[in-house]
Structure 1
Amino acid sequence: MAITASKAELLDKVQQGYVQFEDLLAPLSKEQMTTPNVNSTWSIKDNIAHLTVWQNYLLSRLRGVIDGSMSEPEFLSLPGTEDEQNEQVYQQNKDRPLADVLADFRSSYQSVLATIQSMSEESLNGTFPWSTSDRQVWPLIVGNTYEHYAEHSAIIQHWLESVRGQA
């Protein structure tokens, strides 16, 4: 039997995760946000661009569910493994201005939130119309929102602590 998620609880966790991530970013300077080597060569800005791409991936899937698409929506047409795709996304975004990356992240989040709000609890607990598996929709939301924010928050916090320790 499939595990179900409450739409209200899901929305609450998505919103809480986003607020916690924004609270982490709020006191940071532009210099802190753009300093490389937070994780590998990535800066905090690059982590934000990465989160944006995966929020947009989620958004494409949710819109496909809403539309009842029988074929999986195209998203990243990048070859390779997920790590290789993430590297390509990094290369495409590393020179973008911080303000643009932040604006895209926030806009993408608002679109994801509005899309989840527009969906029924039944569709959130359902499966993808193009899938032959029993993979439910809601775990994709969890993995590309608050769990993903928490993962990158931990990376950023670890880096901030290491930088403070060197000062």
Structure 2
Amino acid sequence: MSETSVTRGEAVAAINREREAWDTLLAEVGEDRMLEPGPMGDWTFKDLVAHLTDWRERTLRRLEAAAQGQPEPPAPWPADLEDDDEDKAVDAINAWFQEQSANKLLGEVLDESRASYARLADVVQQLPDAALTDGGYFAWTGGQPLGEAITSGVIFGHLYDEHETEIRRWLAGRPAETPASATRTAR
């Protein structure tokens, strides 16, 4: 347990703040621009929303299983996409995610994204206390308690660390700096 444990209420409040920030960003982009190639090279903003939601879904499936006392579910992607070279594996998984979402309508992608925040808040309410306070509870949090990972923004960090700069450049009408590497993701 960490010295200053995050309460369930603090974790849910952080999720709600992240959802509000995400909704603000979606409004800034506007649905009329979401089908254009944009901040991620050839990917549209819709592709980026689906990409972020697909990785969040991986986290949600893990948390929902834990809340139900079940073992961690397998990854949703085919096992042959796993590779000892993490960058190669992540690129293959990202391509697989994009392929899975390619035919989804924009409204469906946005609905799934918004629903993922509500699901995250709901599952945090269902998890045992130790899941929020014990850094060893989930191996995939790297020893950080889930509550801290949520309130510090680590669990949402991929958007900010890997995509926000390019999104802001795109919104400002400036070209992206690194579109080839922009589709990589940290799990």
* TM-score under structure 1 length normalisation: 0.78
- Does 1:35 pair with 2:45? no
Identity over aligned residues, as a percent? 25
State the one-letter code of the partner of 1:150.
Y
Q: 1:157 and 1:85, CA in 2 relative to 1: closer, same or farther beyond 3 A?
A: same
- Does 1:118 pair with 2:113? no
Distance of 2:3 and 2:62 partners within structure 1: 20
Distance of 1:89 and 1:77 partners within structure 2: 8
**Structure 1 unmatched runs, 5+:** none
Partner of 2:166: 155
Q: 1:98 and 1:3, CA in 2 relative to 1: closer, same or farther beyond 3 A?
A: farther
Matches within 5 A, 1:69-148: 69=70, 71-78=71-78, 79-80=81-82, 81-126=89-134, 127-128=136-137, 135-136=143-144, 138=146, 141=150, 142-145=153-156, 147-148=157-158
State the one-letter code of the partner of 2:13.
D
Distance of 1:47 and 1:154 partners within structure 2: 13
Per-residue deviation at 1:5? 4.2
Distance of 2:57 and 2:51 partners within structure 1: 10
Distance of 1:18 and 1:149 partners within structure 2: 12
* TM-score under structure 2 length normalisation: 0.71
Q: 1:101 and 1:143, CA in 2 relative to 1: closer, same or farther beyond 3 A?
A: same
The number of residue pairs the alignment matches comes to 161
State the one-letter code of the partner of 1:112.
L
What's the secondary structure of 1:162's corresponding residue? coil
Deviations, residues 23-73 of structure 1 (Å, cap 9, x unaligned): 01114333311111421221111111011112211111112222333x431
Q: 1:153 and 1:137, CA in 2 relative to 1: closer, same or farther beyond 3 A?
A: same
State the one-letter code of the partner of 1:44.
F
**Structure 2 unmatched runs, 5+:** 83-88, 176-187
Moved over 6 A (4+): none
Distance of 2:165 and 2:21 partners within structure 1: 11
Per-residue deviation at 1:140? 6.0
